[in-house]
Amino acid sequence: MGEGVVSNAFFVQTPNMFLRNDQTQHSTRFRCHAQIEKFDLNRGWFYVQCSTCDKTVYPEEAGSLKFVCKDDEDITPKFLYSVNAIITDETTPTEVTFFDEGMTALLKTSCVDLILKHGYTDPKSLPQQISDVIGIRKIMHVSVRREGHIVVTNVTDLVETNNAQGSSVGTLASAVPPTTPDPKVNINKRSHADSPGKENAL
């Protein structure tokens, strides 16, 4: 499947909401049942920001945990997750990005702890804690942003979500954003969702 393309089968309906168009943020947000198939480390799994100007900073020398910023001195580095991955609902592999918020929710461990407490200082070497989540089914909160960039903004466990709602979170179903009715189309014509064999999940 091409980058930034999400098939209808990838969406999940939930008792509360299955799709919301956010015109202010120029994004579409939804939740889905999915699991991580693999991580792409071409760009590493974390980056480091300057504590003063928020620009990306770089090690003073290879392997060093002392970082330098071209604009500021004596900075405190901010370690943040940023990793590309393929997630799938077993039928639809899709390329996504986990930034700091989404990956912290997934691992329940901060980026700075993995680096400073556990010693994972190589951005091109995947920590065991990240490898361990591959293949585990989760509820992923996804934002499809401008130009099709797909970001996982939050991750919750299936069991946690079921307990919180008192019922099943939802099932994979065909779903598309609402469209403006075409006046040329017969309004009495049976919709695709009402066709025989299609289950109404709402």
Residues 20-50 have pLDDT tens digits of 344 445 678 889 999 999 999 999 999 999 9
Residue pair 75/177 in contact by the 8 Å Cβ criterion: no
Domain assignment present for 91: yes
Burial status of residue 96 (CB atoms within 10 A of its CB: 0-12, 13-18, 19 or more):
buried
Kindly report the backbone phi and psi dihedral angles of residue 196, in degrees, each rounded to the nearest multiple of 5, phi listed first: -55, 140
Of 101, 158, 106, 111, the residue nearest 132 (C-alpha):
106
Domain assignment present for 3: no
Domain assignment present for 181: no
Residue 145 and residue 197: Cα distance in Å, rounded? Answer: 33
Residue pair 82/45 in contact by the 8 Å Cβ criterion: yes
Contacts for 23-28 with beta carbons within 8 Å, 24 or more apart?
25/143, 25/145, 26/145, 26/146, 27/143, 27/144, 27/145, 27/146, 28/143, 28/144, 28/177
Domain assignment present for 67: no
pLDDT at 82: 97
**39: CATH:** 2.40.50.140
Domain extent, residue 56, equals: 8-60+72-176
* Mean pLDDT along residues 165-171: 39
Domain assignment present for 197: no
Domain total of the chain: 1
0.85 exceeded by the pTM? Answer: no
pLDDT at 178: 40
- Up-side HSE of residue 202: CA atoms within 13 Å toward CB? 8
* Mean pLDDT along residues 3-31: 48
Domain assignment present for 193: no
Percent of the chain, pLDDT > 90? 49
